[in-house]
Amino acid sequence: MTEFDEAHLSLRRKVAEAVSCPSCEAEHIPEDVLVLGYQDGLWVVVVVCARCHWQGILFLRQSPPNMPPGSELDAEEWVRFQHLSAIDRAEAQRLKDAIWALDGPFEDDL
């Protein structure tokens, strides 16, 4: 089995374990899940219920290892920014104040 096949099988198992049929509530098996493709950190899979034939398309975002869940960074951004601390409220306020203090024209600032 190639690395590509193993990644697909792993994804199919995870989706089957995580998703039950929204129509009849049947549990899924990996064979119910078809991987359509992967691009820019996004998996596209189809789930077909073997019991009631409900079909759904899922778009799944794959995060790099050790990336906090729910992060809005993509994999490349995560590599670039993971060592930096998040801005705090005071820093956000300073940025807001700086933006409000801008008084055009802005040609000299560019």
Using CB under 5 A, list all residues that contact Zn ion: 21, 23-24, 26, 49, 51-52, 54
Question: Which of these, 56, 65, 63, 58, lies nearest to 22 by C-alpha position?
Answer: 56
Q: Where are the alpha helices (DSSP H) in 19-109?
A: 75-81, 89-101
Query: How far apart, in whole angstroms, are the C-alpha atoms of residue 28 and residue 48?
Result: 8
Cβ nearer to Zn ion, comparing 26 with 60: 26
21 or 45: CB nearest Zn ion: 21
CB of residue 52 to Zn ion, shortest distance in Å: 3
Q: Which residue has the tokens 């219920």?
A: 49
- Are 46 and 55 in contact by the 8 Å Cβ rule? The answer is yes
CB of 24 to Zn ion, least distance (A): 3
Nearer to Zn ion, 23 or 82 (CB): 23
CB of 32 to Zn ion, least distance (A): 9
